[in-house]
Amino acid sequence: MPTRPTASDTPSWPPSPIPSTPPVADSPTAYIPQVSARPTGPTGSPATPVSPAGPDRVAADGPEGFAASGLGRVPPTAGWDRYADPSTTALMGAVPRTPAPEQTTGDNPADPPEPRRGERVIQLRPHQTGEGYKSVYSELTRPSFGSRLRTGVRVTGEILITFGLVVLLFAGYEVWGKSAIVDAHQNELTDQLAQEWAPTDDPTVVPSAGPSVKPSPPVRGKPLAGLYIPKLDKNWVVVEGVAQEDIRFAPGHYPTSALPGQVGNFSVAGHRNRATFWSLDELGDGDPIVVESKTDWYVYRVSESRIVKPTQVEVVAPVPGEPDKKPTKRMLTLTTCNPKFDNYQRLIIHAELDRTQPKSAGRPAELGG
């Protein structure tokens, strides 16, 4: 009677490695023991394989009888040596690795991933919607409330930037450009005035004892006198006339007012720019204003400063503020626009003649003479 094989007769599990070249990790094939005919027992029936779980358990017949490692069927109690023979092995295709499933945010794995923050998904092909067909072109060019708002803000910003640049350019011209132009014209007027005041008589000829010739009236637009304000460290050549073309580059003399040093009101108008009467409001009572003529220096002292409306033209009358009164004083009046960069008011400076000094005595002390 045949006996059941014991645990000592059963080969150790798992079996020792097959003495052949081990397959590479990524090799497409793997070696497994060849399954041969099951050994039979003494009665001619196949021997029952032993389960690797223990010596007292019998392995199940059929495909489930293979070991979990996939190396082959659990060997029977005898004849295990032939399974270690490399010549008895066969090739079997390696099972490919299952790729890791992609993580999707939706419930359906086939759904496309949701766009990240700041991204916008636009379908490339036209598709039917409730509003009609949509395409990439229509999505990118169709105006929306946000696009209209952004366009309005952009256009407004560009307009404001352009306006600011224009204002800056105008301010730069008023401060530096116009000053340079006025200075250049003042130099030309100074040369013209020096030529007019140059002596024309021959010094060897004795002047006649007849009556002196009355000086000719000033010509409009031509240089008339010199004007100095020591406190502001400014001086100009005054021209005849107060029209815009006359006072464009120089202060102008009101044609109907008195001349320098005469009884009445010698009135002069000038623009409120940095090259002319920009700081006229800094003058105070007693500050000197010097006027130069062909033969004399006239030193005036500031007596009053005030702001009036443009229609109050009586400030340049022979008696300021009293146009019907006969003058008895020798006055000087300077007028300019007020406030700065505007002209809805007029700044008025009144001064009275303090003294007269011949040019042959040199420059007055107020000018450093």
Model confidence pLDDT, tens digit, residues 158-201? 999 999 999 999 888 877 888 889 999 999 999 999 999 988 65
DSSP 8-state symbol, 62:
S
Q: How far is CA 302 from the centre of its chain?
A: 49
Closest Cα partner for 277 from 353, 350, 335? 335
The confidence score (pLDDT) of residue 217 equals: 78
The confidence score (pLDDT) of residue 95 equals: 58
Q: Which stretches of the chain score pLDDT less than 70? A: 1-112, 120-127, 133-142, 200-215
The confidence score (pLDDT) of residue 355 equals: 94
Cβ atoms of 320 and 258 within 8 Å: the answer is no
Closest Cα partner for 54 from 2, 10, 117? 10
The confidence score (pLDDT) of residue 67 equals: 42
Distances (CA, A) of 116 to 124, 277, 326: 19, 66, 91
The confidence score (pLDDT) of residue 273 equals: 87
DSSP 8-state symbol, 252:
E
Cβ atoms of 5 and 57 within 8 Å: the answer is no
Closest Cα partner for 339 from 281, 287, 296, 288? 281
Model confidence pLDDT, tens digit, residues 242-278? 999 999 999 999 999 999 999 999 999 999 988 899 9
Q: Which residues of 43-70 are buried (b: 16+ CB within 10 A; e: fewer)?
A: eeeebebbbbeeeeeebeeeeeebbeee
Kindly provide the residue ranges of all beta strands, DSSP E only, lying in 4-126, ordered along the sequence: 29-33, 89-93
Cβ atoms of 367 and 290 within 8 Å: the answer is yes
The H or E element spanning position 188 is helix 178-197
The confidence score (pLDDT) of residue 190 equals: 93
Task: Pick left, alpha or beta for residue 118 (phi over 0 → left; psi -120 to 50 → alpha; otherwise beta).
Answer: left
Q: Residue 14, preceding bond cis, omega within 30 degrees? A: yes
Q: Residue 339, preceding bond cis, omega within 30 degrees? A: yes
3-state secondary structure at position 251: coil
- Cβ neighbour number for residue 366 with a 10 Å cutoff: 20
For residue 28, the number of C-alpha atoms closer than 13 Å in the C-beta half-sphere is: 1
The confidence score (pLDDT) of residue 254 equals: 96
Question: Residue 341 burial (CB < 10 Å; 0-12/13-18/19+)?
Answer: exposed
pTM: 0.57
